[in-house]
Structure 1
Amino acid sequence: MVSDFRVTLSSARRLRPIVIATSLVSCLEIFGFTVFALFAGWIGGQFFPATDPMVSLLLAVSTFGVGFLFRPLGALLIGAYADRVGRRAALSLSIWLMVAGMVTVAACPPYSVMGLMAPVTILVGRLLQGLAAGGEIGAAAAYVMEAGPVSRRGYLLSWQLVSQAGAVLIGALLGALLSRSLSAESLATWGWRIPFVIGLLIAPLGWYVRRRLPEDAVRATSAGRHRVPLVELCGKHGKTLALATLTIAVRTVPAYTISYFMPTYLTHVMHLPAVTGFLASAVSALVLMLVAPLAGRLADRLPRRKPLLLLASGMTTLLVYPVFHVLTHAPDTVTVLAAVALMSVFVAPCSGVGTVLVLEALPAQVRASGVAVSFALGVAVFGGTAQPIVTSLIKWTGDPMAVAWYVAPACLVSFCALLFFPERRRQLELTPETSVR
């Protein structure tokens, strides 16, 4: 009994710095990628001027979506690099790409100064951020998953979601602070740049933290170095990859419409104070941060992970219409925050536990590539298009409830994909992997 306790304690001490390091820098990287969405309404006015404010907003959120189109490419390149060379090297590469993207956006002069080169420069910055974010998810998740035992993977991987939600929380609170401290004109002209400048902390902090991560815990096998991960991934695991991509919809579409789009939606569509929109995003992020570890622990205790995911995705699908009905018909601050919190409670398990399900379904030699590619494709197809689609629906119909017309069917697609997704937890418990040690 005492011996088992010492082994558990030693394992916890070994895992803690790994989880903290990967989560901390993931938070900074995702902050750099998603803060664009939180301030899309203000960025649109600076770089995409138009007589109709909704057209400026549509162009801004479309540029945000373009970043997602390059996430699959980043997943292919950085994910394959992680599977062939090592997880730590891939994580360091993603840091510098994200820094380059944030500098490009933060330093770009507005349309009134540069003309057409301004939106082109912003687009380049978003592409660099897309490449970085695309490879970040797979390499970080594979690193943490391979460092821990099967019985704790749900909990350990939940901290990746905590870090991503933390990025939204920091951005939302910063937005609320700026909207209260600056005039509307100052926020629109230069105040929105402040979060991008703060996000540049990723450079020194990220490099220091990730260079101290132990390489031997995630070193690629010698056989894996001579393979082309993408060829093996598509050839042997194509069905799993396709289903994994479809399961992403319930994780990204609600997140990008509830957590990231709320400041723009409530301010520019529902005409509520900007601080209400940022508080809604902050509440959503806080709920995700609190629920994710609890859902991870529950998934570790259950004999199977899929029932929890099916329950969460099913409830998310059913709640979409009631939540947006409340947002559009009773838009006071308390009601808005309560509705957003309720939706986020069920999104949390879909994200954290869903990542574990996909990781366990893939072998080590294609794991980082598989998770990165499926997530990047799913986010590009569903999450990256969410804001442009819902903005277009609102503009064409004039109905704020049009958001639900896209979110609910997308969540239903994921629910159906989860029904057919293979679960390998039992096999891994009986025959644990040793090749990545």
Structure 2
Amino acid sequence: MQPASVNPATLRSRIGAIFRVTSGNFLEQFDFFLFGFYATYIAHTFFPASSEFASLMMTFAVFGAGFLMRPLGAVVLGAYIDKVGRRKGLIVTLSIMATGTFLIVLIPSYNAIGLWAPFFVLLGRLLQGFSAGAELGGVSVYLAEIATPGRKGFYTSWQSGSQQVAIMVAAAMGFALNALLDDAAIREWGWRIPFLFGCLIVPFIFFLRRKLEETDAFNSRRSHPEISDVFRTLVKNWKIVVAGMLMVAMTTTAFYLITVYAPTFGKKVLLLSASDSLLVTLLVAVSNFIWLPIGGAISDRFGRKPVLITMALIAIATSYPALKFLAADPSFYSMLGVLLWLSFIYGLYNGAMIPALTEIMPAAVRVAGFSLAYSLATAVFGGFTPAMSTVLIEVTGDKAAPGLWMSFAAVCALLATLFLYKQESQLHHSVKKNFG
């Protein structure tokens, strides 16, 4: 079945639809990146401990806890979106996400309200994670369903593209804060300014989301499953969901390694300046933004499978050696070069992976299935990449150890890709045999 389109089918309306649907993605990633980058300041404000390592680990654990809520959000909100429609469902996810963001911004410090401070930070992260569980899937499926024939990869790449814009804006704001404020001011109150900006743009994003049109693909479906039916279909197709999770593992691990964890890695491990680490992250986001649609377009032209397999093999072969090279000679330029290489791998892989994941899920549970697979991967792999990287470096004493974590994720992705496309090939062969 060819992807349906949004009426009126004009270039201007399509661009507008892409902008409106990805605006919530921007907010989600903007807040997630800020939490990762300002982890040391958040640790100081909300999670004081006897050692800096313990304080930082508590902060990253709360950061990761938000990802543990994603699978629950994927199932509950994803099923809701498959039932009521993409437009209504995405407005609900935005509302929950905004609530979590406001909580984190407005909470006083641990010194002011004691244990209530980390409790409300955790609550805010859980709300953000719950909404994000279905946000990515809802946006990706929406883009896939409005794509013109033969360009699904290019269209769906803008889901991740909007996240890169969020990284650019967040990194630029952080770079500006470092130039205008001293470290003490940023530590005490300056880190809240970018989060406040995220709160201020929420009404604008609500305005954009309310103007979304429902997709023709959803409207043309004769019946829409009840939420209980969605749950049963997900259980029936558990192998596809698990394999999809493993295929996404490389995307989430690479993304959080080269963006969310990169500033902390640059400052605390490589001992580079905060400004240098932020500038590298900003340039990596620009690189991601360029490579993502290229990866989607290449997969439209040559197929998803060749791109996925090739980039997974390259990741397995080069992730650890690249970080070993960086750890041996840390500098602004070596960090930039290594992360741009990992950005190239991530961009081409993810550009093919997003449309592939929308294609392998049964149509009736497309949002829930996509969201669950993506959320499980984020919970198990990506979301805990900062914490896992911190632990691996602490335990092994090897500053390049995060490269081993990315290589492991790439192995999982490669095996899952081979399994999923073998299943697809067997299904096509069976259909051809039975129906000619």
- Specify if TM > 0.5: yes
Deviation at 1:300, TM superposition (A): 1.1
- The aligned residue for residue 317 of structure 1 is 316
Q: Which amino acid aligns with 2:127?
A: L
Matches of 1:234 and 1:18, distance apart in 2:
29
Matches of 2:181 and 2:22, distance apart in 1:
31
Q: Quick check: 1:259–1:280 contact (8 Å CA) kept in 2?
A: no
Q: Quick check: 1:256–1:386 contact (8 Å CA) kept in 2?
A: yes
1:82-231 equivalence runs, <5 A = 82-215=81-214, 217=216, 219=218, 221-226=221-226, 228-231=228-231
TM-score by length of 1: 0.91
- The aligned residue for residue 435 of structure 1 is none
Deviation at 1:25, TM superposition (A): 2.9
Matches of 2:200 and 2:351, distance apart in 1:
26
1:221-260 equivalence runs, <5 A = 221-226=221-226, 228-260=228-260
Deviation at 1:42, TM superposition (A): 1.4
Matches of 1:332 and 1:61, distance apart in 2:
25
- The aligned residue for residue 326 of structure 2 is 327
Matches of 2:203 and 2:185, distance apart in 1:
29
Matches of 2:233 and 2:315, distance apart in 1:
30
Q: Which moved more, 1:120-129 or 1:395-404?
A: 395-404
Matches of 2:154 and 2:119, distance apart in 1:
42
Q: Quick check: 2:142–2:215 contact (8 Å CA) kept in 1?
A: no
Deviation at 1:424, TM superposition (A): 6.2
Q: Quick check: 1:33–1:130 contact (8 Å CA) kept in 2?
A: no
Q: Please give the per-residue CA displacement for 1:294-337, whole angstroms capped at 9, x wherever unaligned.
A: 111111112x2110111112112222112211221111111111
Deviation at 1:215, TM superposition (A): 2.1
Q: Please give the per-residue CA displacement for 1:329-350, whole angstroms capped at 9, x wherever unaligned.
A: 1111111111110110010122
Distance 1:424 1:17, change over 3 A: farther
Q: Quick check: 2:86–2:215 contact (8 Å CA) kept in 1?
A: no
Aligned length: 421
- The aligned residue for residue 261 of structure 2 is 261
Q: Which amino acid aligns with 1:238?
A: W
Secondary structure in structure 1 of the residue aligned to 2:308:
helix
Q: Quick check: 1:23–1:163 contact (8 Å CA) kept in 2?
A: yes
Q: Quick check: 1:139–1:368 contact (8 Å CA) kept in 2?
A: yes
Deviation at 1:231, TM superposition (A): 2.6
Q: Which amino acid aligns with 1:273?
A: S
Q: CA RMSD in A?
A: 2.2
Q: Quick check: 2:146–2:215 contact (8 Å CA) kept in 1?
A: no
Q: Which moved more, 1:20-29 or 1:156-165?
A: 20-29
- The aligned residue for residue 291 of structure 2 is 291
Matches of 2:317 and 2:260, distance apart in 1:
21
- Is 1:344 the equivalent of 2:343? yes
Secondary structure in structure 2 of the residue aligned to 1:151:
coil
- Is 1:368 the equivalent of 2:367? yes
- The aligned residue for residue 412 of structure 2 is 413
Matches of 1:250 and 1:297, distance apart in 2:
20
Matches of 1:415 and 1:201, distance apart in 2:
41
Deviation at 1:242, TM superposition (A): 1.0
- The aligned residue for residue 4 of structure 2 is none
Matches of 1:49 and 1:269, distance apart in 2:
21
Deviation at 1:13, TM superposition (A): 3.8
- The aligned residue for residue 354 of structure 1 is 353
Matches of 2:36 and 2:241, distance apart in 1:
28
Q: Which moved more, 1:394-403 or 1:267-276?
A: 394-403
Q: Please give the per-residue CA displacement for 1:251-280, whole angstroms capped at 9, x wherever unaligned.
A: 011211121101111112222111111122
Q: Which runs of 5+ in 2 are unaligned?
A: 1-6, 432-436
Q: Quick check: 2:230–2:364 contact (8 Å CA) kept in 1?
A: no
Deviation at 1:216, TM superposition (A): 5.0
Q: Please give the per-residue CA displacement for 1:94-148, whole angstroms capped at 9, x wherever unaligned.
A: 1111111111111111111111111111100100110111110111111111112
Q: Which amino acid aligns with 2:331?
A: D
Matches of 2:227 and 2:386, distance apart in 1:
38
Q: Which amino acid aligns with 2:287?
A: V
Q: Please give the per-residue CA displacement for 1:355-410, whole angstroms capped at 9, x wherever unaligned.
A: 11011112321000011110001100111221112112222333322222322112
- The aligned residue for residue 301 of structure 1 is 301
Q: Quick check: 1:63–1:126 contact (8 Å CA) kept in 2?
A: yes
TM-score by length of 2: 0.91
Deviation at 1:223, TM superposition (A): 2.1
Matches of 1:91 and 1:202, distance apart in 2:
17
Matches of 1:313 and 1:238, distance apart in 2:
23
Q: Which amino acid aligns with 2:99?
A: A
Secondary structure in structure 2 of the residue aligned to 1:215:
coil
Q: Which moved more, 1:215-224 or 1:367-376?
A: 215-224
Q: Which moved more, 1:205-214 or 1:371-380?
A: 205-214
Secondary structure in structure 1 of the residue aligned to 2:216:
coil
Q: Which runs of 5+ in 1 are unaligned?
A: 1-7, 432-437
Matches of 1:196 and 1:156, distance apart in 2:
29
Deviation at 1:225, TM superposition (A): 3.9
- The aligned residue for residue 402 of structure 1 is 401
- The aligned residue for residue 270 of structure 2 is 270
Q: Which moved more, 1:219-228 or 1:236-245?
A: 219-228
Matches of 1:325 and 1:180, distance apart in 2:
31
Q: Which amino acid aligns with 2:288?
A: L
Q: Which amino acid aligns with 2:113?
A: M
Deviation at 1:24, TM superposition (A): 2.7
